[in-house]
Amino acid sequence: FLMLLNLNIANMIKGKQHFKTIRFINTVCKSILLVLIASVMIENTSVIKDLNKIKETEKYWNVLDDYYTIEFAPYHETKQSLIDNMLRSEQLVKTSEAENNTILFKPKGDSVDNDNFSPDEGNVILVNNQFWSIYHKQFQPDIPIKNQKNNVEVIIPQKFHAMRNEINQAYHSWFEFVQNKNNKENKLSIQFINKNDYRIFTFDARDSRHLSFIEAPIIVNVQASDLSNDFYYAMISQGGYLFKNYDALVKNIEKYHLDGEISGITNYKDSVMEIYHENNLKLTVLNFSQIIIVIILVIIILFDVKYYFEQHRKLLVIKKLYGYSTLRANYQYLLINNIVVVFIGILTNVILHYHYIMMIFATIIVVQILLQICSLYYHGRRFNEVIKEF
């Protein structure tokens, strides 16, 4: 707006247009739009990948037809009320497991190293017998889980075998910290298997990024009587437990007086479909935005050529009279314009760090050159009329 205000309208009416200012405005606008369209295209690609991921994993999340997550209200009046909620959460999980109505999976963290064996932050998935029963029935993974009572099983893939001592120490320390102190019969068993070629679907519907597979994770199989009550409260809060049968879930929530502490019950498949619809809407908006930006960019490029001709009319007429071809007469204009695009592309790549940025800008340069050459030839044909004026 400041650049537009700088234009001298009186001189423009007299035909003395401020071509440098107008073309500078064009260049600034084009630079902004180039960065904007690159950002939109990157986001567009990301959304398409998320949609494809949801479609490709449908056979996994679609098996959980009547499962629900619950959300606790975030506020507790006292520490005792939090402790009470932990105890009730453990009772809820125990009853639901006894009714074969709940499955456990530990949501994978956002930045987990696949070669990290830490029980808290590593490439680990926590499951229960119900999860494994459904998963094994549907997808037949060749992993030997025994499902023994009072036994926390840890399955270690082959890639971690060289760190046996460290793993034994880490998991025994973890078990001592989180085990149910009232269950004296509880024990930890660690099994090293000669497999790396397996992956487990997480069933994590927090967003499309998490709805994925964990490659060759450490598998920890636990039941409701194995660990301390704060573990179950934390897992429920993180969406790690899925409860089957809405009526049975509501009945158990009321039975253990958790109805005043729970802010919502969400169907698992509805959560996945909500993510899908949100991404579809986002894709539509991005595509529309992309079309609008492209149209504006084309208009700016064509108008820049027009103003370039108006600015250098006399010089271009002289070059034409001396037999210069259209490309030879305007190569500096083409060169400078496209160097600006290359510079914006490099700058955008530095800022956004996306591996397809330069490919996007290479395509933009090709399209811009074609538009500019066509426009230059169009204006070149009008030189006969321009020459008559002189």
Q: What is the pLDDT of residues 73-105, one digit of tens each?
A: 776 667 788 888 888 888 998 899 888 888 888
Note whether residue 69 is domain-resident: no
Instruction: Quote the pTM value.
Output: 0.78
Contact (CB, 8 A) for 147 and 125: no
Q: Are residue 147 and residue 290 in the same domain, yes or no? A: no
Give the Cα separation of 324 and 113 in Å (integer).
62
103 with 224, same domain? yes
The contacts found for 189-192 with CB under 8 angstroms, 24 or more apart, are 189/148, 189/151, 189/152, 189/153, 189/154, 190/154, 190/156, 191/144, 191/153, 191/154, 191/155, 191/156, 192/156, 192/158, 192/160, 192/161, 192/164
The answer to whether position 221 is within a domain reads yes
Question: What DSSP designation does 212 have?
Answer: S
pLDDT greater than 60 at residue 13: no
Pair (228, 110) in one structural domain: yes
pLDDT at residue 148, rounded to an integer: 73
Tokens of 57: 């994993």
Residue 382: per-residue pLDDT = 65
**Ramachandran area for residue 260 (φ above 0: left; ψ -120 to 50: alpha; else beta):** alpha
Q: How many domains does the chain have?
A: 2
Identify the H or E element spanning 153: strand 151-156
Tell me which of 232, 260, 288 is where a domain ends.
260
252 and 149 share a domain?
yes
Would residue 269 count as lying in a domain? no
**Apex CA 87: angle with CA 81 and CA 92, to 5°?**
120
Mark whether 241 and 111 lie in a shared domain.
yes
Together in a domain, 193 and 285 = no
What distance lies between CA 381 and its chain's CA centroid?
50
Burial 44-67 (b: 16+ CB within 10 A, else e): bebbeebbebbeebeebbebbebb
Q: Is residue 68 assigned to a domain?
A: no
More confident residue, 21 or 337: 337
d(CA 195, CA 146): 17
Angle at Cα 104 formed by Cα 102 and Cα 107, nearest 5°?
140
Residue 201 φ then ψ, to 5°: -75, 135
Residue 226: Cβ-neighbour burial (10 angstroms; 0-12, 13-18, 19+): buried
**Burial grade of 329 (CB within 10 A; 0-12, 13-18, 19 or more):** buried
Residues 11 and 17 sit within 8 Å (Cβ to Cβ): yes
- Count of beta carbons in the 10 Å neighbourhood of residue 370: 11
Q: Which domain holds residue 107?
A: 74-260
CA distance 204 to 61: 9
Distances (CA, A) of 131 to 98, 99, 100: 13, 13, 10
More confident residue, 324 or 194: 194
Structure tokens at 284: 């539509």
**81 lies in the same domain as 229:** yes
Q: What are phi and psi of 169, to 5 degrees?
A: -65, -45
**Residue 65 located in a structural domain:** no
Average pLDDT, the chain: 83
244-282 pLDDT per residue, tens: 999 999 999 999 888 888 888 999 999 999 999 999 999
Are 90 and 162 within one domain?
yes
* pLDDT beyond 60 at 15: no
Share of the chain above pLDDT 70, in %: 90
| The pLDDT of residue 36 is above 70 | yes
- Contacts of residue 74, Cβ cutoff 8 Å, sequence gap at least 6: 263
**pLDDT over 50 (residue 2):** no
Q: Which parts of the chain fold into alpha helices (H)?
A: 2-5, 9-13, 19-56, 58-61, 79-98, 129-139, 164-178, 229-237, 246-255, 268-311, 313-321, 326-352, 357-381, 383-389
DSSP one-letter code for 106: P
Alpha carbon distance 245, 99 (integer Å): 10
If one counts every other C-beta atom within 10 angstroms of the C-beta of residue 12, the result is 12
In-domain check, residue 185:
yes
pLDDT at 247: 92
Please check whether residues 116 and 20 belong to one and the same domain.
Answer: no
Same domain, 213 and 93: yes
Of 228, 260, 292, the domain-final residue: 260
pLDDT of residue 5: 44
